[in-house]
Structure 1
Amino acid sequence: MARRTIEVDDEVFAFLQQHCEPLVDTPNDVLRRLLLREDSEEPQERAAPTTRRLPQRPGALLPLINAGVLTPGDVLRHEQPRRRMVHEATVTPRGWLKLADGRSFSTPSRALAEQTGTTINGWTYVHVPSGKSLYELRSKIEHS
């Protein structure tokens, strides 16, 4: 695949930064997600019919599914007691997180940032069936 260099002004770069997951997304990832809608579980419903689609990449939770720690359909919850808000997401078979509004995200941090409106560590989501955070579950399989 050919690589091209483009220049963007400060305002466009700030926009890209607002829509990225720090230390994960490149500007190309953000543009690809926003323009080609590649962060969706149902790409054919959101993309224009003439847009060429790449296969969906596995989500960050797939290793936890493969290890038997998570199951597709499991609910994840994040509570903000001071704001009296509870955010939930559902684990998909490809290891993505699906929100109640139908949007899907490949990483917990991106999903939770969309729900809370701020940059936040999504590995703090609590796996409702076990009562443990994603961070704890991930640590469990990394140290096995």
Structure 2
Amino acid sequence: MARRTIEVDDEVFAFLQQHCEPLVDTPNDVLRRLLLGGGSEEPEEKTAPTSRRVLRRPGALLPLINAGLLAPGDVLWHKQPRRGMVHEATVTPRGWLKLADGRSFSTPSRALAEQTGTTINGWIYVHMPSGKQLHVLRRQVGQS
């Protein structure tokens, strides 16, 4: 795929930063997601230009799956009592979080921010099978 260089002003760049997953998304990822509806989805595989099959990067929950603390298909939830809302996400085999509307996110914080409409620490999702918050499970595998 050919790469092109574009220039954006400070206001457009600030907008891109507001819609990115820090240290993961490139400006191209954000533009692709916002303009073409892609980039936040978790394709299990994508085809490289050489026609080789390449797996997409693993999600943040993969170490918890590998440690046996989460399993694909497990449900995570977060309750917002003052708003009377409950948000759910499902763990995918590659450690991503899939929302009810079909969108997938590589990190809990990005997924929960999309659901709540605000910046929020997604590691407070509750893992329904165990009743523990993700940050507690993450500490069990030595992640911080």
Specify the TM-score bucket, using the shorter chain as the normaliser.
0.7 to 0.9
Equivalent-residue separation in structure 2 for 1:55 and 1:36 (angstroms): 20
Q: Give 1 or 2: higher strand fraction.
A: 2
Equivalent-residue separation in structure 1 for 2:43 and 2:26 (angstroms): 23
Contact 1:97 1:104 in 2 (8 A): yes
Q: CA deviation at 1:17?
A: 1.8
Pairing of 1:113-132 with structure 2 (within 5 A): 113-132=113-132
Q: CA deviation at 1:25?
A: 3.6
Contact 1:37 1:43 in 2 (8 A): no
Q: CA deviation at 1:56?
A: 1.8
The amino acid across from 1:37 in the alignment is G
- Cα RMSD over matched residues? 2.7
Pairing of 1:55-74 with structure 2 (within 5 A): 55-74=55-74
Equivalent-residue separation in structure 2 for 1:15 and 1:60 (angstroms): 24
TM-score by length of 1: 0.80
TM-score by length of 2: 0.80
DSSP-derived class of the 2:141 partner: helix
Aligned length: 135
The amino acid across from 2:89 in the alignment is A
Pairing of 1:35-46 with structure 2 (within 5 A): 35=36, 37-42=38-43
Equivalent-residue separation in structure 2 for 1:24 and 1:43 (angstroms): 17
Deviations 1:94-120 (A, max 9, x none): 100000011111111110110001111
